[in-house]
Structure formats: structure tokens, C-alpha cells
Amino acid sequence: MGVMKRLTSIVQAKANKVMDRVEDPRETLDLSYEKQLEQLQQVRRGVAEVATARKRIELQATQLQQSAAKLQDQARQALGQNREDLAREALSRRATIGTQLEGLKSQHDQLVAQQDRLTATLQTLEARVQAFRTQKETLKASYTAAQAQTNIGEAVAGISESMSDTGMAMQRAQDKIAQMQARAGAIDELMASGALTDLSGSTDPLQAELDKTSQSNQVDLELAQLKGQLGGGTPTSSLPAGSGTEDADTGPNGETAQAELVADTPGSDETAQPASQTAATGAADTTGAAGAPPAEGQGGEGEADEGLFSLDGDGAQQ
């Protein structure tokens, strides 16, 4: 028995809490006002019923008075005709009507008093209903203003349900953006390392390797040409004045001409060997640069194309 009582109390408490949560005071006030209007209407119907009963009694009393007056005339007529028995009968009936009139008068007085009380109650109830209506509208306006102020405060503070949903949506959007950025960065790193293949470019790994080798050979060729240019200018600067136009010759023949010029010059015994060594070194550099073997997979046509698209015109001529 005690368990059932406690269970009932718990259920009632939960139900009251749910009802308090969903209850709107404005709707409750409107419901109370409607109930008071119903009570006021019932009082008005009661007053109307009492007034109807009073009017019916008045009509009955009027009819009885008319009957009493008629019996009074009949008694006079009977006495005029020396019919005393008829006159006595008429007066007896008239006395009975008098008793009925007294009973109706008593009921009439009670109905009049009851109607007066109901009318006073109706007036009091109407005043209360009117006052409650005014108070109801004031309370509803106050509640609406308080609710609006609360909603505005919650929206400004960011603790309302709608603002909370908006904040959560923004947080989810930021998380997705960060995730997509991290994914894009990871894909770029994998493509740069070669773990993933760029489908927008060449899909042939052999062709990609050949292109890389060709580019490397082109760089080596340009570097060799630059070395050849620098190596060819060093011996001419070390020759003495008056060497003439023989300095323009390069290659193996150029080495012999430079050696003869050094031999004819006075004091050539001391300088012939260094000069020849210098010329030999420059010729070797020039020969090595000019005679560098072409890259694999490239023929004479490739060298001609490289000369056409070379950045240095002298290197193309060599």
C-alpha cells in the first residue's frame, strides 16, 4: 500500500512538472475568463427563470381576481332573484379563490425576493468579471513583455535554443572546413612525394623519367658550353704582346701556332714550357667542352634543335 502511494505521488509530481512546463499563463487566464462568463450567463438565465415564474403567478392571480369578481356579481344576481342558495354557492367559490390568491401572493413575494437577490448577484458578478477581464489583459501584456525581454536577453547572451543551434551549426561548419583543408594538404603532399598520381598530367612513368633525363642533359650541356667559353679565353690573356691574329686559332692547330710563337720570342727557353702547358690546358678544356658526347636518346637533329633554342648564340655556334 505504501509503495503504491509513493508511486502515485511520483507520477503526480512528474505530471505537474510537465504541465507547468507546457502551461501558458495567458491561455489559463483566458480559460478562467471564459468560465466566469459561463457562470455569469447561468446567473442571467436564473434571473430570467425567476422573473418568468413571478410573471406566471401574477397572471394566475389576475385570472383568480377576475373569477372572484364574476362570482361576486353572480351572488348579487342570485339574491336579486331570491335564490339565496345560488348566492351562497357563489360566495363559497369566491372565498376559495381568495385563499388561492393569498397563496399566490406568498409565492409571488418569495419570487420577487429571489429575483432581487439574483439581480444583485448578477450585478456583482458582472463587475467582478469586468474587473477580472481588465486584470487579465494587464497580466497578459506583462507576461508577453517579460517573455519578449527574456527572449531578447537570451538571444543577446547567446543562451537561447535558436542561438545555441546557430552556434553549433557554425562550429560544425568550421570543423568541416578544417577537415577539408587538412585533407587537401595531405593530398598535395602525397602527390608531391609520388605516392599519388596526378591524373591531369602524363600517366606514363617512362615518359616522365625520359623528360626528367632530357632536362638534366640540357643543363649539363649548357654548363659544359659555359666552361668551354671560360677555358678558351684564359690562354689568350697569358700570351705576350705582338702575338697578332694567331690568337684566334683554337684546337690542336692553335696549340702548334702558339708554341712556334713562343719559340721565336727572346727568352723563350724560360717561358716556352709554361706557355705550352697553359695552351695545352686551355685546349684540353676547349676540346672537352666542344667534344662532349651527346645525351642518350639524342642525335644530330636533337643538337641542332638545342642550338636553335639555346639562350647563348656563341654556344650554339660551337
DSSP structural state of residue 64: H
**Beta carbons of 91 and 54 less than 8 angstroms apart:** no
Residue 187 lies in a domain: no
Q: Is residue 94 part of a domain?
A: yes
High-pLDDT (> 90) share of the chain, %: 21
Res. 23 pLDDT band, cuts 50 70 90: confident
Residue 176 lies in a domain: no
Domain region containing 254: 213-238+246-317
Q: What angle do CA 209, 210, 212 make, to 5 degrees?
A: 65
Task: Check whether residue 25 and residue 132 sit in a common domain.
Answer: yes
Q: Which pLDDT value is given to residue 220?
A: 86
Q: What is the pLDDT of residues 52-70, one digit of tens each?
A: 999 999 999 999 999 989 8
34 and 123, same structural domain?
yes
Q: Around Cβ 97, how many Cβ atoms within 10 Å?
A: 20
Domain assignment present for residue 37? The answer is yes
Is 307 domain-assigned? yes
End-to-end, the C-alpha distance of the chain in Å comes to: 117
Please report whether residue 125 resides in a domain: yes
Task: Evaluate if residue 219 carries a pLDDT over 80.
Answer: yes
pLDDT greater at residue 150 or residue 234: 150
Cα maximum dimension of the chain: 211
Per-residue pLDDT tens over the stretch 163-187:
667 777 888 889 999 999 998 888 8
Assign 3-state DSSP to the chain and report helix, strand, coil percentages, each to 5.
85, 0, 15
DSSP state of 295: P
Count of domains observed in the chain:
2
Residues 112 and 232 in one domain: no
Please tell me the least confidently modeled range out of 59-63, 150-154, 261-265: 261-265
Please check whether residues 156 and 11 belong to one and the same domain: yes
Same domain, 15 and 124: yes
Is 190 within a domain? no
> Do 154 and 220 fall into the same domain?
no
Please provide the average confidence, as pLDDT, over all residues in the chain.
Answer: 73
CATH code: domain of residue 60: 1.10.287
Q: How many CB atoms lie within 10 A of CB 238?
A: 12
224 vs 244, higher pLDDT: 224
Instruction: Give domain status of residue 285, yes or no.
Output: yes
C-alpha distances in angstroms, 309 versus 72, 202, 312? Answer: 154, 24, 9
Spacing of C-alpha 249 from chain mean position:
83
Q: What's this model's pTM, rounded to 2 decimal places? A: 0.43
Domain final residue, candidates 143, 160, 177? 160
